[in-house]
Amino acid sequence: EQIANQIAAGEVVERPSSVVKELVENSIDAGATRIDVAIEEGGLGLIRITDNGSGMESDDCELAFSRHATSKISSSKDLFAIRTLGFRGEALPSIAAVSKLECITSSVDSGLGRKIVIHGGKVLEAGEVNAARGTEITVSELFYNTPARLKYMKTVQTELGHVSDYMYRLALAHPEISFTLSHNGNVLLQTLAGSDMLQAIAAIYGTAIGKQMIPVEANDLDYSIHGYISRTELTRSNRSGISLIINGRYVRNLALNAAILRGYHTLLPINRYPIVVLQITMDPTLVDVNVHPSKLEVRFSKENELMQFVETLIKSALGNQVL
């Protein structure tokens, strides 16, 4: 069982940012409106996620750390979704197999909760504690017992980059949730609950940039697009400012990136890129997310139509900017 968890961990837990992703997604699933992420040494030293979500009941807490325990699948029809989403019920045991993990959770407002401590998959401690409603999971010394994996970790700066990149995208996709990200005690991101996309953009890129973004909005039979694009004089040296949110999820798609850049065509200096945040809503049958569960790539079934739509939208928004 421990070996199985370590093998599964190899697939689910690639690096600190994958731990953050799995834990924060659980917090969102638990209905949290506030999620604080504190990491140290790029997440290799410590990752702590605190949420104000539903919490887990005592029995569920222990169960959550055994393999294939998920509260999210209850019928065999759902089981089919395992294939497409992957790793259902595997995140917590996988993470616990390759780190020193502590979970404190409470599903009630009485102040009573449950604490469980697991090192390398071994439960060292489980009992009652005082805790506020919600869940706090602390992951220390990731990969301490899998030196081969640890060797593949890049510098603190690179690992931090992956984590903050993910958190920025998440903040854009969920402006209604309050997120905090801190590294070695320094706050890198702070958004307020109940914000809108523009407020999230300002929290990430700065208020000055937030003020200069151009709103874009368009609908046709298949797609509904809402977002913000930067003026042509506001450029960056890389593509990391382009964020795509499809049906509420942050995704990556090279063709869409290219369509956006075609929309800017000659307006951008060479090797300069805009800040673009687009939220695209479409019939789920038009988008294939079944590429790799932990990866973010998607495929579109009417690709050309969507690309044309996006390029035209950007061009016309920038055309209005000139006026």
Binding site for ligand ADP (CB under 6 A): 22, 26-27, 30, 51, 53-56, 60, 64, 69-72, 88-92, 135
Rounded to a whole number, what is the largest CA-CA distance in the chain?
67
Residue type, 49: I
The residue among 30 and 156 lying less far from ligand ADP, judged by its C-beta, is 30
Return phi, psi of residue 22, to 5°.
Answer: -60, -45
CB of 125 to Mg ion, least distance (A): 23
**Of the candidate residues 46, 91, 209, 289, the single one contacting Mg ion (CB under 5 A):** 91
Cα–Cα nearest to 171, from 250, 231, 227: 250
Query: CA 275: distance to chain centroid?
Result: 19
Q: Are 227 and 279 in contact (CB under 8 A)?
A: yes
Which residue shows structure tokens 């070996």? 3
Q: Binds 135, which of Mg ion, ligand ADP, none (CB < 5 to 8 A, cut-off by type)?
A: ligand ADP
Cα–Cα nearest to 94, from 115, 121, 72: 121
CB of 222 to Mg ion, least distance (A): 31
Burial of 252 (0-12, 13-18, 19+ CB in 10 A): middle
Q: Binds 229, which of ligand ADP, Mg ion, none (CB < 5 to 8 A, cut-off by type)?
A: none
- Nearest 5°: CA angle at 176, between 159 and 21? 25
Q: Binds 279, which of Mg ion, ligand ADP, none (CB < 5 to 8 A, cut-off by type)?
A: none
CB of 264 to Mg ion, least distance (A): 37
- Nearest 5°: CA angle at 205, between 277 and 250? 35
**Per-residue string for binding with Mg ion, 2-31, x by CB under 5 A?**
------------------------x-----
Q: Binds 64, which of ligand ADP, Mg ion, none (CB < 5 to 8 A, cut-off by type)?
A: ligand ADP
CB of 204 to Mg ion, least distance (A): 25
**Per-residue string for binding with Mg ion, 37-76, x by CB under 5 A?**
----------------------------------------
End-to-end CA distance of the chain: 65
CB of 85 to Mg ion, least distance (A): 9
CA distance 3 to 102: 20
The residue among 51 and 311 lying less far from ligand ADP, judged by its C-beta, is 51
CA distance 277 to 216: 10
CB of 70 to ligand ADP, least distance (A): 3
The residue among 111 and 206 lying less far from ligand ADP, judged by its C-beta, is 111
The residue among 83 and 299 lying less far from ligand ADP, judged by its C-beta, is 83
Token digits for 275? 């800040």
DSSP SS3 for 51: strand
Judged by CB under 5 A, does residue 32 bind Mg ion?
no
- The residues of the shown chain that bind Mg ion, judged by CB under 5 A, are 26, 91
